[in-house]
Amino acid sequence: MKIASILENQKIEKRIAITPEIAKKYISLGFEISLSENYGNHLGINDEEYKELGVLTSNDEKKIIIDSDIVVQLGLLNDDKNSLLRENQIFIGALNPYDNKVKIDNLVEKKINIFSLDLLPRITRAQSMDILSSQANLAGYKAVVESFSNFEKAIPMMMTAAGTIPAAKVLVVGAGVAGLQAIATAKRMGAIVFATDVRMASKEQVESLGGKFLTVEGSENLETEGGYAKEASEDFKKKQEELLSETLKKIDIVVCTALIPGKKAPVIIKEEMINNMKAGSIIYDLAAIQGGNTAHTKVDEIVDKNGVRIMGESNILNKLPTSASNLYAKNVFNFVSNLYDKENKKININLEDEIIEKTLIK
């Protein structure tokens, strides 16, 4: 079996799908690996590290794709390389199927087996493959670090002979994986942390990390069976707005993480709320790429609104590409291992396996 990966478009994606550590694991299973030349150079991994393990490298990316049984990437290939994929080939990535529906449907029509790991079910057996969790963890951490580096005051409380500097107050909107990591990181750095989420199950998790959970009176539990957030009712939104409006007046830093799979991100922080915030406050919007959780989020721009700076990037993980690649590559390897019939040394697309059935785009 031949598995391959080529370099992503470096302007938008610096992560890689096969690290040397994971290449060694694939080879031990009996896979032959082919990669683009200079595949990991930008992460400080030279081709020799791969070659010493038995990995083949080539500057002919078209041949790499054509000759492989499995192609693993972060996102979809560009159109001229997509056209090289052939019937019964397997393509695995984090493909954002809601936004890339037309391109993916075209590949499915060609009878290519497309697996999108952002469709993994939230079950115990899939945890080692869960790219959303592994990548969101890093994103939550980095969002706090970026916010703090742009905030022009100290974060922890400091008691000095000249007086006391109060601790910064942080609000995390959305207590999923990214939000919980943001809470933990902000607490470790000495901030006072508040959090809000439409899923009542989050309350205990937030409080276990030392955060204060802001509860909307008469809350409804807005959680799908798969553990994701679903859209709130108008009544809930109104109550949430009132609570947030009052809270934001005393908050220094806001980290927004609220997303609904397959939909535009909900606008939670409205213009009038931003107008009531203190000048010098920071909002970091992790939902920027899906429209943003604020009224003024712009991707890859810092928007200054009456002294409140609103930040959001298309891919914050490009600032942690080595750590993100290490985790992503492990997730993908665990997924491929689940697909691979080790006894017969072939891929077995068993649709009775919930992991395979949910991630295969049909």
**Residue recorded with tokens 């005051």:** 153
CA–CA–CA angle 11, 16, 20 (5° rounding): 145
Closest by CA to 76, choosing from 106, 37, 52, 47, is 106
133 carries an active-site annotation: yes
Contact 172, 136 (CB under 8 A): no
Looking at the DSSP assignment, which residues form a beta bridge with residue 91? Answer: 71, 114
How far apart CA 197 and CA 173 sit, in angstroms, is 6
Q: Is 130 a catalytic residue?
A: yes
Tell me the CA distances in angstroms from 315 to 195, 285, 289, 342, one per residue in order.
Answer: 23, 11, 8, 36
H or E element in which residue 42 lies? none
Q: Which of the following is catalytic: 34, 36, 68, 133?
A: 133
User: Whole-angstrom Cα distance, residue 237 to residue 11?
Assistant: 37
Any alpha helices (H) in 86-130, and if so which ranges?
A: 101-109
Beta bridge partners of 113: 90
| Tokens linked to 127 | 């945890």
Provide the greatest CA pair distance for the chain: 73
Q: How many CA atoms lie within 13 A of 222 on its CB side?
A: 24
Q: Is 245 designated active site?
A: no
Q: Which of 47, 58, 69, 122 is catalytic?
A: 122
Given the residues 118, 228, 337, 353, the one annotated as active site: 228
Where would I find the H helices in the chain? 20-29, 47-53, 61-67, 79-82, 101-109, 131-150, 177-188, 202-208, 234-248, 271-275, 321-339, 354-359
Which of 73, 130, 197, 325 is an active site residue? Answer: 130
Q: Is 197 part of the annotated catalytic residue set?
A: no
Active site residue 47: no
Which positions are catalytic? 122, 127, 130, 133, 228
